Structures are given as structure tokens and as C-alpha cells.
Structure 1
Amino acid sequence: MKRKKSLLTLWIVFSLAVFAAGCGGQQTTAPAASGEGQAETAGQTESAAGDGRITIGAALPDFDDKWLSYLQDGMKEYQATLPDVEVIYVDAMNDASKQLSQIENFISQQVDAIVIVPVDTVSVQNMVEKANQAQIPIVVVNRIYEGVEQATAYVGSESIKAGLMQMEEVAKLLNGKGNIAIMNGQMGHEAQIKRTEGNKQVIAQHPEMKVVLEGTGEWDRAKGMALMENWLQSGQQIDAVVSNNDEMAIGAIMALEAAGKLDDVVVAGVDATPDALEYVKAGKLQVTVFQDASGQGRGGLETAIKAAKGEAVEKFVWIPYELVTQENVDEYIQKWQ
């Protein structure tokens, strides 16, 4: 009987031990399972919320364009002050279809906002529409066009004012009379259209001034030089060369200087680039109009960041033009130093 009781006691003790071990195992595994679940949830939450960084896609038309390189520098200098902002720069190489593909890539990457300097002012409308459909803010910089209000914002200068300021100064230098040769930038660009329009509005106000030659140098120094060489060979009397930008104006100066005719012709440009300012200081380029490339780049990026954060932004952010002549050129040289 005692033997049976002893066996019964051992069996009860064994059973209790197994039960306790089982309960202990459940208690040790439950928190572990809970911990894994919490870690996974935390990871999902962090991924959804992001790490606090803002990513901006910057679509530029041509990295080799001198003036646009200053605009990009303005963006980069401002970006350097913002540790939580990443900017992805892409070069369309003046190819509108390539720029469209780049915008589509930005959208698929789900960037927080896009800054675009359009290759042209027609294809950009489709790009803006795609960004809007994806609910990604898109800021157009420098090249304005009809319908730009569909973008989140526009940052730039009013091109027609550059043409007006430029030609008004040329008219003063010519005493309101003379033959004008106009060098156009790339045809169809908003700046080409509006700067030339401003030129012609001023010319129309002076009966003794007229346009005798007009052609495109496509914003390029070498092409501006070649165009000027052709004009010189035509034998047409030219009193002023009025260029849509400084690079073509410098090309014209080089051709005129080689022909020994620079002293007889007023040359005017737009942008007030560092190279152009040296020509102004030397008395070879009589007029240029300062277009704040760095200011436009900074303004475009700053506006895009605000939009990415959900802050209200101005629909139009205007960066004013400023007339530059030999009298005030030193002030503008200092701006680039």
C-alpha cells in the first residue's frame, strides 16, 4: 500500500513539473513572439513615415550650357546648407523626350518634389500633367510658358523685360537711330521669343531704327561667331548687334574684332555672366542685363522644398532683371566673387 502511495506521489510530482515547464515555455516564447511582431510593425511605420529626408528631382535641359551651370550652382550651394535634403540632378541634353523619361523616372521613384527647367515650353506641359496626376509638386524654373499656372509654382524672370531694358539702352547709345542685327537664341524658347519681342517693341518707338538682320546662334558662342561672320560677309551696314544672351554676343564680338570692326558696332547681351562682365569692363560689350541664375536656382529649390513639406507657396516667384553697363560693372563682378 505504501509502495502504491509512493508511486502515486512520484507521478503527481512529475506531472506538476511537466506542467510547470510547459507553462514556463509558453511564458518565455510569448514575449519573444510579441517582440518580433513589435519590431516588424516599427519597421513598417518607419518606412511609411520616411527618415525625415526630402528628395528632390532636378531636371535640367543641358549641363553644358554656361548660364544654366550657374543656376545649378545656386541650387547646389543652397542644398549644401540643408543636411536633410537630397537633390538628384539629371541632364536632358536638350532632348525633350529624354526629359520626359527622366520626369517619369522621378515619379516612379516617388520623389517628394520636382524642379524642372524645360527643354522646351511645349513638351513640359505633359510633364507637369504627369507630376500632377502623381500628386508630386513640380516647380518650373526660368522658362515660362502659357499654362505654367498648372505647375505648383514658377520661379524666374520676365523675359520681355530683359529685351526692353537691353534695347532701351542700345537706343540711347545710338541716339535713337541705326541698323540693328538681332541674334536669337534657340527658336521657340520662351526667352528667345520674349526678349526679341521686347527688342522690337523699343525699335518700333524709334522711326530711325530698324532690324536689318536676324538669325539664331542657339545660345552658343561659336554659333554666334559664325552668324556674325556671315553677316559681315553680306556687306550690310550694322550699327548694333543685340543678342538674346551673352554667349552669342561674345561670339559676335570675336568675329567683329577679327574683322577690325568692333569699334563701329554696339554689342548687347543678356545674363551678365562672369565672362560677359569682363567684356563689359574692357569696353567691348556695351550692355548686358543681369539675370540672377544662382537666385533662380536657389528660389526653385527653396520653393520645391516648401511644397514637399506641404507648405503654401507663391504661384509666381519673380527674380528681377538689372541693367549692367561699364558704369556699374564692378558691382556685378563682385556678385560672382
Structure 2
Amino acid sequence: MKLKATLMAASAMALTAFAPASAEEVQKIGLAVANLQADYFNQIKLGVEAYATEKGIEVITVDAKNDGATQVSQVQDLLAQGIDAFIYIPAGAAAATVPARLAKAEGIPVVNVDRNAEGEPGDTFIATDNAASAYEVCKYIIDQAGGEGKMLMIHGQKGTTPEVERTKGCMKAIEENPGVEVVGEQWSNQWSQDEGLNITQNLLQAHPDTSIIFAQSDAMALGAAQAIKVSQMQQRIYLGGFDGDTTALPILAQGGFDATATQQVRGIGRLAVDSAIKLAAGEELPAEQLLPGYLTTPENAPEYVAEHP
């Protein structure tokens, strides 16, 4: 299948530069996840655990449930359990620097995934190229709308790396289309479907002439799609999401919304483990390792459903 070949080639190119190192230096990895209720984070967790198991490495996983204070406490417990490396997805922007600082003070290498901590970055940071992928999604839905219209933006958790980068990428597409006007925007707390529904309902009431919506996660896009359906707007509203969630891709394939950026979630998990091994062995890695996301529409979504994850 053409898509499968493309995905394998892109993943191979991204991972070849960081070929697996010996696991001898790493016997136990601590994995701190922001919120396992989110499909995206759960898929990364599964990627980390499956790949680490192949290498005979134990993974201790903790779930902060989007609470920064809880995550700090969980990381303190992880450090007390003698982990050799730390893979870290911050639960939010506020206390994001503390876990990385605690681990580094113990001489434990830190691999930040998806979100980096401003002022206290990990030894390497792994993510999708959020800005480039958000640009592609917003460019697509704007083009579908004829290059003009009133637009809403439903942001992720304010100040987190994905929210900042996805905003930046989408704004680039908007700036290239002077006929598009952002008439409303709102930030979420948990990137959730319920938030997408409630935020979109409120914004559509205030801006009933909206024709374009960018929701910064697929969960929020699904909520926005519900809100559009309930609102019974007369005009066509073009809707983009982000993530390529396993729950959202089949709905996208059926035309439930218009576009997303599919991330290499399991590949991110594997790269995080390889990076932890290399760092523990004393190797230096790039400050950032960004993997491509793939523009996904109803036309090609069935192929992603078949290949994902």
C-alpha cells in the first residue's frame, strides 16, 4: 500500500539518525504522562512500554490526570524507585519545570515528549512538528472554504508546547489568506470532547456566520462537530482537528469533519526509549527531534485507519 510505504519510509528516515543503542545502561525507565484519558498520550505510553519490553527494560508509568501538583509528587516517587532514565510529558505549563529539575539533580537523563518545559528543557525533546502540521490543516480547511470566511479557533491548554506551536502554524495559514478573519477563540483545560462541544456552542451563538473552525485536538474537533450539528447552521462549516486519534480517524473517514494531522504516536514512544538509552550511555542528542505529521482528509483517512497506529 502506498501510504504504508510512505509512513515506513518517513519513520525510517526519522529514526535512522538515532539508531538503537545498547540497553545495558538502562534497566528501569520512569514514564510520567499528562493524562491517559487522552488517546494520544495512551498511544505514546503503549509505544514506550511495548518497545521497552522488547529490550528487557522495565517501565514504571504514572498518570497525572492533568494535574501539575500530582505529577510533581509522582515524579518524586519515581526518582525514589531508582529509575535510570525519565520520559516526561508535562501535565501543564505551570509546574512543568519541577520534574525535569528534580531528575537532573539526581543525574538522571530526561526525555521530554510532546511538551517541553520553558526554562528547564529535557536533554532532548521529541514531538510532531506541530507548527508545520497545523499550517497544513488550516491551509486545507481555508482552501476548502474558498480562501475566505469567519473563523473560530479552539485552543488546547494555554501555554503548553502543542498549543503554542499549533497556534503559530495555523496563524501562518490565516495570514496568507487576508479574506479570513478570526472572530472568536477560546482555550481549553483538557483538550477534551466535552470542552470542544461547549466552547463551540458558545462561540457559534456569538458568531453565527462562522464558516471555518480549527480545533487543536481531534477530541475537541469531535465536540465541535457535535455543536455544529446541534446548531443547525444553514452555511457549510469546514472543521479541522489535530492528532489522528484512533477514535477520530474512522469518523473523519466518514466525513464527520474535514481534516486532521495524523501523528506517529507509537514511533514517538519508540524514539523516546532509544533516546533514553543513548542519553544514559553518555551520548549527546539534538535539543529537538521533530517527526512529521500527515495531513489526513476523508479521502485518505481510510488508509490511515487501516495502518494506525
Of Structure 1 and Structure 2, which has the larger fraction of its residues in helix? Answer: 1
| TM alignment of 1:218-297, pairs within 5 A | 218=189, 219-261=191-233, 264-297=236-269
Q: Percent sequence identity over matched residues? A: 26
Conserved 8 A contact 1:152-1:315: yes
**1:123 pairs with 87, 95, 101, which one?**
95
Report the residue type matching 2:41 in the other structure: L
**2:165 pairs with 194, 203, 207, which one?**
194
For residues 184-243 of structure 1, give each alpha carbon's deviation from its aligned partner in whole angstroms, at most 9, with x where no partner exists. Answer: 111222211221122122212211111011113431101111122222333531101111
Q: Give the aligned partner of residue 291 of structure 2.
A: 319
Q: Give the aligned partner of residue 41 of structure 1.
A: none
**2:151 pairs with 155, 161, 180, which one?**
180
Conserved 8 A contact 1:92-1:99: yes
- The Cα of 1:335 is off from its aligned counterpart by 1.8
| TM alignment of 1:47-196, pairs within 5 A | 54-82=27-55, 84-147=56-119, 150-196=121-167
Structure 1: gaps (5+ residues): 1-50
Conserved 8 A contact 2:85-2:276: yes
Conserved 8 A contact 2:26-2:277: no
The 1:298/1:321 distance shift into structure 2, 3 A limit, reads same
Give the TM-score normalised by the residue count of structure 1.
Answer: 0.79
Q: Give the aligned partner of residue 213 of structure 1.
A: 184
Conserved 8 A contact 1:262-1:284: no
Q: Give the aligned partner of residue 42 of structure 1.
A: none
For residues 157-204 of structure 1, give each alpha carbon's deviation from its aligned partner in whole angstroms, at most 9, with x where no partner exists. Answer: 232122211111112111211110111111222211221122122212
Q: Give the aligned partner of residue 20 of structure 2.
A: none
- CA distance in structure 1 between the aligned counterparts of 2:194 and 2:79, rounded to whole angstroms: 37
**1:304 pairs with 271, 276, 287, which one?**
276
Report the residue type matching 2:32 in the other structure: A
Report the residue type matching 2:303 in the other structure: E
Question: SS in structure 1 opposite 2:162?
Answer: helix
Return 84-93 or 311-320, whichever deviates more. Answer: 311-320
- The Cα of 1:289 is off from its aligned counterpart by 0.6
Bigger relative contact order (CA 8 A; separation at least 6): 2
Report the residue type matching 1:251 in the other structure: G
Conserved 8 A contact 2:31-2:61: yes
Conserved 8 A contact 1:155-1:316: yes
For residues 268-290 of structure 1, give each alpha carbon's deviation from its aligned partner in whole angstroms, at most 9, with x where no partner exists. Answer: 00011122211221112111011
For residues 13-46 of structure 1, give each alpha carbon's deviation from its aligned partner in whole angstroms, at most 9, with x where no partner exists. Answer: xxxxxxxxxxxxxxxxxxxxxxxxxxxxxxxxxx
Conserved 8 A contact 1:95-1:119: yes
Structure 2: gaps (5+ residues): 1-23
- CA distance in structure 1 between the aligned counterparts of 2:159 and 2:233, rounded to whole angstroms: 31
The 1:250/1:204 distance shift into structure 2, 3 A limit, reads same
- CA distance in structure 2 between the aligned counterparts of 1:262 and 1:184, rounded to whole angstroms: 25
- The Cα of 1:306 is off from its aligned counterpart by 2.6
The 1:121/1:228 distance shift into structure 2, 3 A limit, reads closer
- CA distance in structure 1 between the aligned counterparts of 2:178 and 2:100, rounded to whole angstroms: 43
- CA distance in structure 2 between the aligned counterparts of 1:317 and 1:52, rounded to whole angstroms: 22
Q: Give the aligned partner of residue 31 of structure 1.
A: none
Conserved 8 A contact 1:253-1:262: no
Conserved 8 A contact 1:56-1:111: yes
The 1:52/1:181 distance shift into structure 2, 3 A limit, reads closer
Conserved 8 A contact 1:54-1:308: no
- CA distance in structure 1 between the aligned counterparts of 2:32 and 2:258, rounded to whole angstroms: 34
Conserved 8 A contact 1:160-1:198: yes
- The Cα of 1:319 is off from its aligned counterpart by 1.5
For residues 298-323 of structure 1, give each alpha carbon's deviation from its aligned partner in whole angstroms, at most 9, with x where no partner exists. Answer: 21122112323444444322221111
Question: SS in structure 1 opposite 2:31?
Answer: strand
The 1:52/1:141 distance shift into structure 2, 3 A limit, reads closer
